[in-house]
Amino acid sequence: MIEKEIAEIKRRFTMEKTNISCIRGCYVSSKNEILSEFNQNFSTMEKEEAEKLLMILKKTLSGALNKNLIDIAFSNEQVMNGEEHKLLMNLKDNDIKDDEQAMELYKKIIDSMNSDNSYLILLAADKYDIPVYSKDDIKLDDSSDVFSYIICCVCPVKPRKSALRYSAGDSAFHNIATQLVIDNPGFGFMFPSFDYRQTNIYNALYYTKNTAESNEAFISNVFNTEADVPADIQKDTFNMLIEETISEKCDMEVMQSVHNKLSEMIAEHKAS
């Protein structure tokens, strides 16, 4: 996916545009025990709560491409016969209504987790009637194509310390008890991809908040594949190789060669 396509889907996460009918998920302890499950009708939520949930889900599509947002590619064999791909397709096709399939996804995620905090798994499904635009980006009409997708994220749940508040009503201070607060997603994904403004079941879009963490276990359990190495890890590895390869007394010719090679790599990346 490119930035423009991601931005188009992100605009879906408003009360006026979303077609999300329900949000489901589970609350999990730091010991990876499911403490509770929920499956809530989106239309019956308080507007403020619904808007905050949409903002959290939208965060799963934030950040920089190839850094926070990474394409996950499925092989032909996985699309034809892979259990992981089949599960994601089923969840998409039934709008996450199947309890057993939802639980199967939760368990795959939970088995990959190693967290000091409790956390929340959120899962939603949306349908987007893809509009047709002119070359000048003028909306012409709604097409017959519908982009159906699921979005899933894992959010740390952290205690907010107790505090004092002042009440003007009785001119007194009152204690606010410690509360559990849902943090922004640490990682998550959207499936399938929205490539060339069309459904691409051969790809998913993976999100990570911390680019220094690879979350290999999550990617392996949910997708049964590998993602590109995160940008921060690539940078650290490259710097280490440079330090090991080039001595302190390297001459200008060697440095110029390294600079030229880097320039070529950057140019090739931009061209792709």
Same domain for 208 and 187? yes
Domain shared by 216 and 243, yes or no: no
How confident is the model over 116-138, as pLDDT tens digits?
A: 889 999 999 999 999 887 677 76
> No. of H helices and E strands in the chain?
8, 12
Residue 165 sits in the same domain as residue 253: no
Other Cβ atoms within 10 Å of 167 Cβ, number: 9
In a shared domain, residues 193 and 58: yes
Tally of domains within the chain: 2
In sequence order, what E strands does the chain have? Answer: 22-28, 34-41, 69-73, 118-133, 139-160, 163-167, 172-176, 179-182, 187-191, 193-195, 198-200, 203-208
Residues 117, 11 within the same domain: yes
- 113/29 same-domain check: yes
Q: In angstroms, rounded to a whole number, what is the distance separating the alpha carbons of residues 142 and 129?
A: 6
Answer yes or no: do 157 and 87 share one domain.
Answer: yes
- Note the pLDDT tens digit of each residue in 10-28: 999 999 999 999 999 999 9
pLDDT tens, residue by residue, 177-195: 667 789 999 999 999 999 9
Cβ-Cβ contacts under 8 Å for 107 (sequence gap 6 or more): none
- Both tokens of 269, joined, read 């990346």
Provide the domain limits for residue 264.
235-271
One domain for residues 117 and 166: yes
- Please indicate, yes or no, whether residues 91 and 30 belong to a single structural domain of this protein: yes
**CA-to-CA dists, residue 40 to 107, 126, 137, 188, angstroms:** 20, 15, 37, 20
45/11 same-domain check: yes
Closest residue by Cα to residue 69 from 148, 10, 143: 10
Kindly state the DSSP code that residue 98 receives in the 8-state scheme: -
Between the two ends of the chain, the Cα-to-Cα distance in Å is 12
Alpha-carbon span 58 to 54, nearest angstrom = 6
Q: Are residues 44 and 123 in the same domain?
A: yes
Buried b or exposed e, range 201-230, using 16+ CB within 10 angstroms: ebbbbbbbbebeebbeebbbbbbebebeeb
Based on the number of CB atoms within 10 Å of its own CB, is 120 exposed (0-12), middle (13-18) or buried (19 or more)? Answer: buried
Between the alpha carbon of residue 237 and those of residues 45, 72, 204, 213, 251, the distances in Å are 47, 22, 26, 14, 23
Q: What residue type is assigned to position 136 of the chain?
A: D
56 and 156 belong to one structural domain: yes
Q: What is the pTM of this model?
A: 0.78
- Contact assessment for residue 189 and residue 142, using Cβ atoms and an 8 Å cutoff: no
Q: Do the Cβ atoms of 221 and 32 come closer than 8 Å? A: no
Least confident of 46-50, 59-63, 89-93, 230-234: 230-234
In terms of pLDDT, which residue wins out, 205 or 143? 205
Rounded-to-integer distance, Cα 225 and Cα 215, Å: 12
pLDDT 10s digits, 123-176:
999 999 998 876 777 676 667 789 999 999 999 998 777 666 666 666 566 666
Residues, the chain: 272
